[in-house]
Structure 1
């Protein structure tokens, strides 16, 4: 990131998947740049952890809340969604904090691990989930850039025999011509 800034590129916003090391680097290098957590990543991971048919009513309710994330496109919908999520978490606080105990090992763990994991991801992401509403130039997902790099990788795979130097030149030309089209 420092290299990007040293090139004179101004970063007006960052959309990312929420990797801890990436968020830490962003806070260190560009603390004032708004961060947008990829809503698709949040939703996809929560749906995986909760499964298509959650075993508990609490998990089912959370899955319904998670499924509404991609419909948020203005401040009013955001506030309603946040209120619904916070009301849900308050209502099910005991369920989320319920722990199990093993007498053999003497260890504790959260009983409803996947529901709790989903809740924790959303709670930690909440401050950065809706930056795109304040700045429409910030994308709410990483889908666009992932598609761009997927296409680049596909083109590089066609030319598998390139040396490292040739690959760098290929990428440089690819980016140059893509920017001409934009």
Structure 2
């Protein structure tokens, strides 16, 4: 089964002794050309590496070899960058979110209901980072987001015709952080009740009722929320947390991003999502579980672990042998100086944050889907 063919004439070859290193030597029956042939097990080793990285098996269970041998084989695979495949497929709904590897390193992810579509490494959730992610995916009809900083600006520039739906669960949580779960004031209790109802809104009648009730709450407590005191000659509002919650809700009402899914249900038909639960539960939760299972990895290896998870959850992944032939390595990825720095030390000698710090210029991969 593993008998090679002659590279010169394509003829059958026969065994012809062994080399000094013990490799099998072959000789062509037709032209007499000689060659040494070894079975390449790299694809099998990569498959074992991914089985260990993405699962909960031990090294012995995943690779059936010693830990030292596994680490030696894995060094090659840690240098690979599994990047998204650009297909041009247009989706009705795209979910976007970011998962932080360190405080200053985030992987932005875009996914559909079934697969991860694209991912991008950035230092923060700024508008340029979101734009870099969005240029890798054709503009959908609607995008669901938790309202990360910079996203709205990037969406206007890259996906100008895409409708934006703010995740209602995240909006509700933002209000609850201001009111707390046990508010003492009547205004806070009523606003908390409105926040708890928000994620349950599913149709136009429920949305209209919620909007009317919220407008009534604003009118009822307008004078109450204007109460202030003077501190060092400056006006200071008494109920600043409630005012902050009201400002965030007013901004979403003004933008029209609270009930976009209902508008599309009425104009286009079909089911449209109102929350980011798909990317939070199916993608982010599993990535965090993987990172917990492999805690102790350096910064760049945690980043690459996230990249591997996203790639293996994408629709157009290739075989392990093709990955080895086509995937970029550290030296080939443009703009990323891929080296995990040593742990920074505080003045007392203790580590500040394990594996922090990456040498940066920009991490941008060319794509044909520019908007």
Considering the TM-score relative to the shorter chain, is it more than 0.5? yes
- Is the CA contact (8 Å cut-off) linking 2:139 and 2:159 kept in structure 1? no
Give SS of 1:71's match: coil
Write the mapping of 1:1-182 to structure 2, written as runs, cut at 5 A: 1-4=130-133, 6-7=135-136, 9-102=138-231, 105-126=232-253, 127-135=256-264, 138-147=272-281, 148-159=283-294, 160=297, 163=301, 167=305, 170-171=308-309, 173-176=311-314
Q: Which range is displaced more, 82-91 or 163-172?
A: 163-172
CA change 1:178–1:65 in 2 (3 A) is farther
Which structure's CA Rg is the greater one? 2
Deviations 1:35-74 (A, max 9, x none): 1111111111212211223221111121222221122111
- Counterpart CA distance in 2 for 1:52 and 1:168 is 34
Q: Which range is displaced more, 126-135 or 147-156?
A: 147-156
How far did residue 168 of structure 1 move?
7.2
Normalized per residue, the structure richer in strand is: 2
Deviations 1:152-177 (A, max 9, x none): 34335545478489647624541236
- Counterpart CA distance in 1 for 2:236 and 2:199 is 32
Deviations 1:7-55 (A, max 9, x none): 4523221211223422222223222211111111111121221122322
Q: Which range is displaced more, 119-128 or 3-12?
A: 3-12
- Is the CA contact (8 Å cut-off) linking 1:14 and 1:138 kept in structure 2? no
Normalized per residue, the structure richer in helix is: 1
TM-score (normalised: structure 1) = 0.81
Give SS of 2:165's match: strand
CA change 1:173–1:80 in 2 (3 A) is closer
Unaligned runs of 5+ in 2: 1-129, 265-269, 319-371
- Is the CA contact (8 Å cut-off) linking 1:132 and 1:140 kept in structure 2? yes
TM-score (normalised: structure 2) = 0.43
Unaligned runs of 5+ in 1: none
Tell me which of the two structures has the higher relative contact order, counting C-alpha pairs closer than 8 angstroms and 6 or more residues apart: 1
